[in-house]
Amino acid sequence: MKTLIAVLLVCAVAGRDYDIDCDNVNPLAKKFVDDRIPSALIFMISKTTCPYCTRAKKTLSEIGFHQDDMNIVELDDIDAQFKSDIQDYNWCITGGRTFPRVWANNQVVGGSDNTKEGYWSGKLVTMAYQARLTRAAKNFVDTAVEGSKNKYLLISKKDCPFCILAKMCLDSMRISPDRIVVHDIQDWDTHDQIKEYAGELTGASSTPRIWFDQKLIGGYQEFKRWMGC
């Protein structure tokens, strides 16, 4: 019982005023935190012995965040003074020194209770859903390109005029249907994320995006010149 009380006191000392000079915090502690905040969709500063940290991790898992969405840094083995410096800086930028400290998409969430509030409000649920769509979109595009060996791959939309012209070009060149893979994404939940990721890979997010033999051709104009349609 005494051990549990001690852990709780160390983990979450609440409602205390701190005399911290935020203009003169340890620059290494500041760098430690600032460099890691953008490292993942969810960044958490934690201790393995902290029950509130365990609760926050459980909440994030229940929300649906994938392990790849999260960077959780445990401070158990860090020098006590440096750990205190990190806590001082956390107080300056989040309003709390206690564990855990949680950020989502580079924005401060706070502690365990704030994380639970983010769950109840739907804000973190929406963020986790969008992260799943983004991950699915990247996996789809990467897998589709990898599978386009000796094939034409079109990421397309049925109502896209340039997509229709690209398909007509393939038909006019008498390309065998078994060498053509077309994904019409207009009704997919991942539509926006696929276009965004394809844009990152190809320099443009418009449709169609066309590959042949795992190599990018580009959009319709590049494809038209390449095929000689």
CATH number of the domain at 155, please.
3.40.30.10
Number of domain units in the chain: 2
CA distance 68 to 122: 21
CA distance 81 to 17: 19
Q: Which amino acid is at 57?
A: K
Q: Do 115 and 60 fall into the same domain?
A: yes
Q: Do 101 and 23 fall into the same domain?
A: yes
Sequence-ordered alpha helix ranges (H) in the chain: 2-11, 27-36, 51-63, 80-94, 112-121, 123-146, 161-172, 191-202, 220-227
**Given 92, 121, 150, which residue is the final one in a domain?**
121
Q: Do 109 and 157 fall into the same domain?
A: no
Q: Do 148 and 218 fall into the same domain?
A: yes
Answer yes or no: is 6 within a domain: no
pLDDT of residue 19: 79
Least Cα distance to 75 among 44, 51, 52, 103 occurs for: 44
- Tokens in use for 104? 């989502």
pLDDT of residue 13: 41
* DSSP β-bridge partners for residue 43: 71, 103
CA distance 171 to 167: 6
Q: Do 95 and 160 fall into the same domain?
A: no
Q: Do 73 and 144 fall into the same domain?
A: no
Residues 207 and 162: beta-carbon distance below 8 Å: yes
**Given 64, 90, 121, which residue is the final one in a domain?**
121
pLDDT of residue 17: 55
In tens, the pLDDT along 63-82 reads 999 999 999 999 999 999 99
Query: Does residue 220 have a pLDDT over 50?
Result: yes
Q: Do 117 and 22 fall into the same domain?
A: yes
Q: What is the mean pLDDT of the chain?
A: 92
Residues 53 and 81: beta-carbon distance below 8 Å: no
Q: Do 114 and 158 fall into the same domain?
A: no
- Tokens in use for 207? 């449709």
Least Cα distance to 57 among 73, 77, 38 occurs for: 73
Residues 71 and 42: beta-carbon distance below 8 Å: yes
Give me the domain span that covers residue 183: 137-227
Query: Does residue 14 have a pLDDT over 50?
Result: no
**Given 121, 150, 182, which residue is the final one in a domain?**
121
In tens, the pLDDT along 146-198 reads 999 999 999 999 999 999 999 999 999 999 999 999 999 999 999 999 999 99
